[in-house]
Structure 1
Amino acid sequence: MVMPTFSRRRVLALGGAVVLSGSSAFAQSRRVAKIGLVQSTTGGSAALYGTEQKQAIELAFAEINASGTLKDITLEAIYADDGADRGQTVNIFQRLIRQDNVIAILGPSLSNSAFAADPIAQQAGVVVIASSNTAPNLTKIGDFVFRTSVPEDQVFPTVLRYAVKKHGIKQVALIYGLDDALTRSAHEVQKKAVTELGLQQVAIESYQRGDVDFSAQLTKIREQKPDAIILGTLAEEAAAILRQARQLGIDDKVAFIGCNANISAKLFELAGPAANGIIVGASWFAGYDNARSKAFVEAYRKRYGTTPDIYDAQGYDAAYLLAEAVRRADDVSSGKVVRDKLAAITDFDGVLGHFGWSADRDATVQPKVLIGDGSSKVFVAAPS
């Protein structure tokens, strides 16, 4: 079993200089808001999302602490890698809450882990903000659970309607991961949307976590001659399926329609040109024409040398939303006070756009339909 790895980061930015907390009388006089940062930076496909979110959140914390917006309050990130193991996520949540006394947690990366660990935070009165969990009903765990990642059931129907109109789709095949809460829930959302649009399901195939060869499933799908293949997969599996589908001679005219979990820059790195034309839905993309978004993309590229994707953007906004709640609460010890201030935010201008919270504490962001450009390795806005 992978043991959780913790690292404590407490820094103040003062006049361009980094001052370690405790290294001066000034630093000692400051208040510290301890925030758990739980992401999967190891553990297979999940590491694609976890690493990106961790980087974006650390960028946001550095900016916030340097800005002086919180006056005498400093955000301290206590980071832990759960290795995409829900048992480890539970252990980490317990440690962060009981030993580190965090007032909020950003994460975890996977919905599967969130369903196991978020109830612990809910019971303890500790805020959780998810920035990659898209499984339906997650926030129904309790009123301390929020998310900036738009749920699959609010995105996929729009994506499917676009694909049907654009490609004249009548028959579809579906393939999904059996043993992950996100991929299972995405599949259920996809099946419902297919049924509601009156499309014919000619094949449904599945796979186990860790599978890398999808030729058997794709061969069966090819024989049914669908107009589209719908993916309920993580990005790494999606990339393998796209590559193998082309290798098996599945017609280029067959549309691939993905779920939120496919929206990763790593999809293009792994799939290359095979990702051309994949249709997905998201709340954000790197080319989004928004001043806040453009500034974020520039700052992220400067710090990390790569272009951020949606998980970075959602993590970045989660960090800023939490900071705003801490600012309004003027409190570094009460999760309840921070929760109430967070819930009261209705006019947040973030990377994702201008939004607040729904009644179920989901970000009220308008979904966007995107198309994969495998050659340029980016998602672009779908043509109308």
Structure 2
Amino acid sequence: SDPATGADELRRMAAMGARIVVAGTTSDTAHALLPVLEESDVIAVSPSASDPSLTKESRMFFRVFSSDELEGRRAGRFLYDDQDKTTVLIYAEDTAQARGIEPPFRQVFEQAMGGEVVGRVVINSDGWEQESSDILAAARPSAVYVLGYGEATISVLRHLREQGFSGLICASSSFYTNQIVDSHPDLVEGVFFPQPAFDVKTEGDLAQNFVAAYRQHYGVDPDIYAAHAYDAIRVVIWTIAEAKAYTTSEIRKVLAYGMKEFPGVTGIIQFNDYGDVHHNPIMFIIRDGQVLNFERYIDEERAKIRERIKNLLSN
């Protein structure tokens, strides 16, 4: 995830003859790769870089992960429409990923819905905790939105718990890994976050075979990044097999025009003119150490309530 290391490794692979690579796990690293892709005449398929500007800045960059634009909009609708939260405090890490999510979130939450962003705190900046405490006390926001990677988000969650914040907490998809959830169960309990639609309970042989193989090898469920990495590798393998020649122009032609509704464990993969996929994020919630599809969780809870009522009426 270090940008300089990523650029050096890309140059090394290009020198070995690579014309297509799986690369760019974070948006900051992906930005560092863009000029190297152009100078080396190599195409990258990213499993997880989500800054909206990446695919617009280079025709050599494709990704199987949804753009931050979709995530920000989904979070805005979820907080205002689904959860009736009208005021929010934003915590943002100084990263390309956070800068990509915040504008579309504000566009939906503030401009389209009429909500109010009561403040913005830069995570780990000088005095950020005191600044946060002052805003929480003065504005009393009904929700917070945390835009940061794992450890940065954990710092905010720890601070919010210490402050006794009782409102809704929504994080970005970049915070979630199995390790984060397992290491900080009390801090992440009840946290919502949007992410592209991968769920270990997804039906279909492709997804379930992947989940079973991953569990057998690693002993845990695959997370969103494992699923997207798997899809990125499958896309690259398929593209190389389909290309008439192992050249950059032929490879790009297959990705841009030959890939039609390619089946992935994260959904159907088909690139638009920029090299983006369109996978609408869905909301997840962390309950008792489990990451649950929120809509499915609500449906299951309602079913339990109906069953209890039915049992009471029959007794």
Q: TM-score band, normalised by the shorter chain?
A: 0.7 to 0.9
Match of 1:371 among 277, 285, 288: 285
354 and 117 in structure 1: CA distance in 2 versus 1, 3 angstrom threshold = closer
Give 1:335's aligned residue: 248
SS in 1 for 2:184: helix
The whole-number CA distance in structure 1 between the counterparts of 2:229 and 2:45 is 9
Aligned ranges for residues 125-144 of structure 1 at < 5 Å? 125-144=41-60
Q: CA deviation at 1:285?
A: 2.6
SS in 2 for 1:154: helix
Q: How many residues align?
A: 293
Provide, for residues 199-243 of structure 1, a one-character-per-residue CA deviation record: whole Å limited to 9, x for no partner: 11112111248x9x9642441232121011011111221123223
Q: CA deviation at 1:244?
A: 2.6
Provide, for residues 173-195 of structure 1, a one-character-per-residue CA deviation record: whole Å limited to 9, x for no partner: 001112x2112222333333332
Give 1:50's aligned residue: none
SS in 2 for 1:184: helix
The alignment's TM-score, normalised by the length of structure 1, stands at 0.71
Match of 1:244 among 139, 149, 159: 159
- Give the conservation status (yes or no) of the 8 Å contact 1:369–1:381: yes
The whole-number CA distance in structure 1 between the counterparts of 2:83 and 2:191 is 12
Match of 1:292 among 193, 201, 206: 206
The whole-number CA distance in structure 2 between the counterparts of 1:256 and 1:289 is 29
- Give the conservation status (yes or no) of the 8 Å contact 1:160–1:193: yes
- Give the conservation status (yes or no) of the 8 Å contact 1:370–1:380: yes
Give 1:93's aligned residue: 10
364 and 271 in structure 1: CA distance in 2 versus 1, 3 angstrom threshold = same
Q: Note if 1:353 corresponds to 2:267.
A: yes
Match of 1:315 among 229, 252, 257: 229
Provide, for residues 37-85 of structure 1, a one-character-per-residue CA deviation record: whole Å limited to 9, x for no partner: xxx3xxxxxxxxxxxxxxxxxxxxxxxxxxxxxxxxxxxxxxxxxxx2x
Q: CA deviation at 1:271?
A: 2.8
- What is the Cα-based RMSD across aligned positions, in Å? 2.1
Which segments of structure 1 move beyond 6 Å, counting only runs of 4 or more? none
The alignment's TM-score, normalised by the length of structure 2, stands at 0.86
Q: CA deviation at 1:330?
A: 5.2
The whole-number CA distance in structure 2 between the counterparts of 1:355 and 1:184 is 25
Give 2:29's aligned residue: 113
- Give the conservation status (yes or no) of the 8 Å contact 1:110–1:133: yes
- Give the conservation status (yes or no) of the 8 Å contact 1:265–1:377: no
Q: Which amino acid aligns with 2:266?
A: L
Q: CA deviation at 1:280?
A: 1.6
Match of 1:168 among 63, 73, 84: 84
Give 1:231's aligned residue: 146
Give 1:273's aligned residue: 186
The whole-number CA distance in structure 1 between the counterparts of 2:131 and 2:213 is 42
- Give the conservation status (yes or no) of the 8 Å contact 1:122–1:145: no
SS in 1 for 2:55: helix
366 and 191 in structure 1: CA distance in 2 versus 1, 3 angstrom threshold = closer
- Give the conservation status (yes or no) of the 8 Å contact 2:72–2:105: yes
Provide, for residues 227-282 of structure 1, a one-character-per-residue CA deviation record: whole Å limited to 9, x for no partner: 1101111122112322331122112xx11122221232233123313322322222
The whole-number CA distance in structure 2 between the counterparts of 1:199 and 1:361 is 32
SS in 1 for 2:44: strand
Give 2:311's aligned residue: none
Q: CA deviation at 1:305?
A: 1.4
Q: CA deviation at 1:150?
A: 0.2
What 5-or-longer segments of structure 1 have no aligned partner? Answer: 1-39, 41-83
What 5-or-longer segments of structure 2 have no aligned partner? Answer: 300-315
More strand by share: 1
Q: CA deviation at 1:112?
A: 0.9
The whole-number CA distance in structure 1 between the counterparts of 2:173 and 2:5 is 24
Provide, for residues 132-151 of structure 1, a one-character-per-residue CA deviation record: whole Å limited to 9, x for no partner: 11111211122221001101
Q: Which amino acid aligns with 2:264?
A: G
Identity percentage of aligned residues: 19
Q: Which amino acid aligns with 2:182?
A: E
119 and 285 in structure 1: CA distance in 2 versus 1, 3 angstrom threshold = farther
